Amino acid sequence: MHDSGKSRHRCVILGCGGHGRVVLDILTNTGELEVVGFVDSNSEMHGRRIDGIEVLGAPSDLPRLCRELNVSRAIVAVGDNGARRALADQVETMGFELINAIHPSAGLARNVTLGRNIVIAAGALVCAHCQIGDSVILNTGCLVDHESLIGTATHICPGARLAGRVTVESGAFVGIGATIIQSTRVGFEAVIGAGAVVIEDVPPMSTVVGVPAKPIKRIGKTADMHAWLIPERAPRRIPPPAVDIPLSAKAP
Ligand SMILES: CC(C)(COP(=O)(O)OP(=O)(O)OC[C@H]1O[C@@H](n2cnc3c(N)ncnc32)[C@H](O)[C@@H]1OP(=O)(O)O)[C@@H](O)C(=O)NCCC(=O)NCCS
């Protein structure tokens, strides 16, 4: 806990659901920042308190809250990968500095690189030379082994274990207790089911489950309307041409 009398930077947490409460707990444990409140689009929560911290208003109230409460830092604590990324972009455009929440019991190698708006929960381990992108959640007790690349707005759920040199592309979801062997790639917005054991690359936007993991569907549940709003990803979603190109066709 924070024990010095010096003034701390003030921040707000976007999202007062389960993940928001975890983030409040982490920030309270580190004590480095003063949480002045939550903001949440659910108006039924406005004015309520969670663990003593008030839900101050909606994300659209942030510019006013920034002026009135002298707060310039924020963290987006929304579980949905696409929504978290989109909100982080909006908050940054408003001029807020996005902060990370790293539990004191998490273990990070010295040479791990971190983006912004990252949550690393209690007991998570991140080993040498890993790169963790913006808006990533490394949830309770997960393991990310050496030289792994964890892409923007991904969620590595509690107890998931990633061996060395794993790549998780943006928007992917690695379910609770899943295991991914070394040097494999999880495609963008793919979903790895709870307890799955991934032994080969996972195609983008597919869902895989089981031991060893096998696909059950293309276009996972994480594909949502927010993803359509992200320009750099939109072209990938353009439907294939109506005329099939024969698989045997040679490139010119
Ligand atoms: C993989 C997952 C996303 C699939 O959800 P879904 O799209 O709603 O799929 P369904 O529940 O319709 O299941 C489809 C089939 O896959 C099977 N299945 C689903 N999840 C499975 C899993 N984790 N392992 C093995 N089989 C699974 C179902 O039994 C079903 O099989 P059937 O067609 O033979 O009946 C979900 O089951 C899952 O594992 N989510 C992870 C949850 C998690 O980690 N939460 C932590 C949050 S911090």
Using a 6 Å cutoff on CB, does residue 175 contact ligand 1? Answer: yes
107-134: pLDDT as tens digits: 999 999 999 999 999 999 999 999 999 9
Confidence of residue 8 (pLDDT cuts 50, 70, 90): confident
Sign of the four-CA dihedral 53, 59, 60, 64? positive
For position 179, which CATH number holds?
A: 2.160.10.10
| 221 CB within 6 A, ligand 1 | yes
pTM of the predicted structure, to 2 decimals: 0.87
Residue 216 is assigned to a structural domain of this protein: yes
Q: Is the pLDDT of residue 81 over 60?
A: yes
- What mean pLDDT do residues 23-30 have? 97
Q: Are residues 25 and 114 in the same domain?
A: no
Question: Helix, strand or coil for residue 126?
Answer: strand
CA atoms within 13 A on the CB side of 127: 13
Query: Range of 64's domain?
Result: 9-77
* pLDDT at 148 (0 to 100): 98
In tens, the pLDDT along 187-209 reads 999 999 999 999 999 999 999 99
Question: What end-to-end distance do the CA atoms of the chain give, in Å?
Answer: 64
pLDDT at 2: 46
* C-alpha 13 – ligand 1 centre gap (Å): 30
Categorize the per-residue pLDDT at 50 as very low, low, confident or very high, splitting at 50, 70 and 90.
very high
d(CA 252, CA 233): 27
Q: Is ligand 1 within 6 A of the CB of residue 193?
A: yes
Residues 42-58 have a mean pLDDT of 96
Under the banding of pLDDT at 50, 70 and 90, the label for residue 243 is: very low
Q: Whose CA is nearest to atom 29 of ligand 1?
A: 209
Is 110 found in the same domain as 66?
Answer: no
Q: Is residue 58 part of a domain?
A: yes
- H or E segment at 84? helix 81-93
Residue 153 is predicted with a pLDDT of 97
Could you tell me if residue 135 is inside a domain? Answer: yes
Residue 163 and residue 218 in one domain: yes
CATH value at residue 49: 3.40.50.720
Contact 180, 163 (CB under 8 A): yes
Q: Tell me which residue of 32, 27, 26 sits closest to 8, measured CA to CA.
A: 32
Number of structural domains (the chain) is: 2
Region 29-34: what's the mean pLDDT? 93
Give the separation between CA 160 and CA 179, rounded to whole angstroms: 6
Q: Does the pLDDT value for residue 7 go beyond 80?
A: no
Q: What is the reported pLDDT for 6?
A: 60
Whole-number pLDDT of residue 230: 43
State residue 219's pLDDT score: 56
Q: Residue 217 pLDDT > 80, yes or no?
A: no
Q: Do both 50 and 164 map to the same domain? A: no
Is residue 178 pLDDT above 50, yes or no?
yes
The candidate with the shortest Cα–Cα distance to 224, out of 80, 90, 77, 91, is 80
Q: Give the number of other Cβ atoms within 10 Å of residue 252's Cβ.
A: 3
Q: Which of 209, 214, 218, 224 to mutate to test the pocket of ligand 1 (most atoms within 8 A of CB)?
A: 209
Identify whether residues 180 and 141 lie together within a single domain: yes
Residue 160 in this model has a pLDDT that exceeds 60: yes
